[in-house]
Amino acid sequence: QVQLAESGGGLVQAGDSLRLSCTSSGRAYNGAAMGWFRQAPGKEREFVAGLSGTGGVTDYANSVKGRFTISRESDYNTKLHLQMTSLKPEDTAVYFCAGRTGTLLETQTQKYTYWGQGTQVTVSS
């Protein structure tokens, strides 16, 4: 089984930067597509950024393009990062790391098998 654990959330001011990380554990996990999702209070969980299994394809939600960057370090296990800059109050949400069993990048939550517990990001105005 694969476990994912996020870290790096916190309270920041508008315009600040924050870096989220997600570390896999359990059995070996690398070469699969992974992504970041977020869920604000009263809203559906939404796709933020994703990375294909090879790392050659990335995708971002329109709302974060140009501000967020997804990256990965792969070894026996995987460490996924989300560099967030120029943060806005509307970026406030719980951010989740997610992993697929396949290599294709997907944006739908139901395509992901493994999920972390989430980390809170709060951006004050």
Q: What is the pLDDT of residues 13-70, one digit of tens each?
A: 999 999 999 999 888 888 899 999 999 999 999 999 999 998 889 999 999 999 999 9
Q: Which of 69, 18, 29 is nearest to 53 (CA)?
A: 29
Residue 118 neighbours by CB under 8 Å, 6+ apart: 6, 39, 94, 95, 96
Residue 28 CA to residue 48 CA, distance in Å, equals: 25
Residue 36 CA to residue 29 CA, distance in Å, equals: 16
Local structure of 109: helix, strand or coil: helix
A 10 A CB-CB count for 97 gives 29
